[in-house]
Amino acid sequence: MKVRNSLAQIMKKSLCEAINLDLMSRLARDIFPDYDLHERTGFPPTVPITSQLAAHHIVNDAIAENRFLHLAERLILLDREGYMGRRYPVPGLAEIVKQIRVEGYVWDENTELFMEDPRVRRTPNWGRLLDEDEFRFALLRLDVANNSRMVQTHGDSAMRGALEDLRQIVSRCVEFRAGRIWQWEGDGALAGFLFGSRVVSAVLAGMAILHELFLYDRLHNRLGEPLRIRAAVHTGTLRYYADPGKLIKQEIVQETEEIESRLTPVGSLVITPAVAPSLDRVILDRFHHIQHISDSRLLAYEVRMEGA
């Protein structure tokens, strides 16, 4: 995020006026593990550091290491919740939030984090995640069924066109619900959801993809047979990496891919036991147990013609 000088100055002033040096150091260590003000300033441990100097270095370090939003988030929570039973109103906080919005970021109440405003830009890390940032994500994995056979039947050109249509459908459904596509590999995709009701958003995105594909097959598909997919939604703790190669090696991603490739019926969206508790009854009642596999805890959804 680009931090203008005026915003940096407001942040430094707010820190000095809201909290003492000890709490300022604690706040910094919450953002930067093992943060040492004396080491950062170059002063020996015997030399006292003023609050103004501490705030100056903490804010500048947050900007330099792309952690300014993290610092702003801690201040918002400090203002709302206090610390160890004591309230700490943060002067200038409204102006800080206002200027962050000007830079194209919005506050998400569910996660209590800033994310990029999708009306301004859409990037894989929501404009704020750094490598090794760890959160609970919801993951949506999908793959085209029988892709190799369909390429042989219809040819590379026709399948490329169909897969591009699918890509547009998936991107539209995922990004509408604040998700991000992290990987497109051949005929498969991996999407992540972090903000808002992330699990519900991932499930609704998967359902919407099936709905749109159902209409696509009947109105726009030129292959002469349906373009059918398998999709799965799972949730758990994940470390973010900008490199998809590092991202997909993590256990939660591999579990999701395994469920999608081995346990999901063609034309279905499957959800795991970790996902189901986050869904309300209206959505959950649309899913059913999968009969042909031993793990009956998995639930599946597919689009059916009325009366089928």
Token look-up 């499930």 returns: 203
Q: What is the pLDDT of residue 295?
A: 60
CA angle 125, 127, 129 (to 5 degrees): 50
Q: What is the spatial distance between Cα 227 and Cα 191, in angstroms, rounded to a whole number? A: 20
Neighbours of 250 (CB within 10 A): 17
Dihedral sign for Cα atoms in the order 64, 65, 66, 72: negative
Instruction: Check if CATH label 3.30.70.1230 holds for domain 134-301.
Output: yes
Q: What is the spatial distance between Cα 28 and Cα 126, in angstroms, rounded to a whole number? A: 23
| Residues of the chain scoring pLDDT < 50 | 308
Which residue, among 131, 134, 68, has the nearest Cα to 105 in the 3D structure?
A: 68
Write the burial class of residue 230 (CB in 10 Å: 0-12 exposed, 13-18 middle, 19+ buried). Answer: buried
Dihedral sign for Cα atoms in the order 239, 245, 251, 254: positive
Q: What is the pLDDT of residue 305?
A: 67
Q: What is the pLDDT of residue 181?
A: 96
Q: Phi/psi of residue 36, each to 5°?
A: -125, 115
What digits encode the pLDDT tens for the residues 220-238?
998 889 999 999 999 999 9
What digits encode the pLDDT tens for the residues 61-114?
999 999 999 999 999 999 999 998 899 999 999 999 999 999 999 999 888 999
Q: What is the pLDDT of residue 153?
A: 87
Stated pTM of the model: 0.88
The two beta strands, 134-144 and 188-193, are antiparallel
For residue 277, give the 3-state DSSP assignment.
helix
Q: What is the pLDDT of residue 13?
A: 96
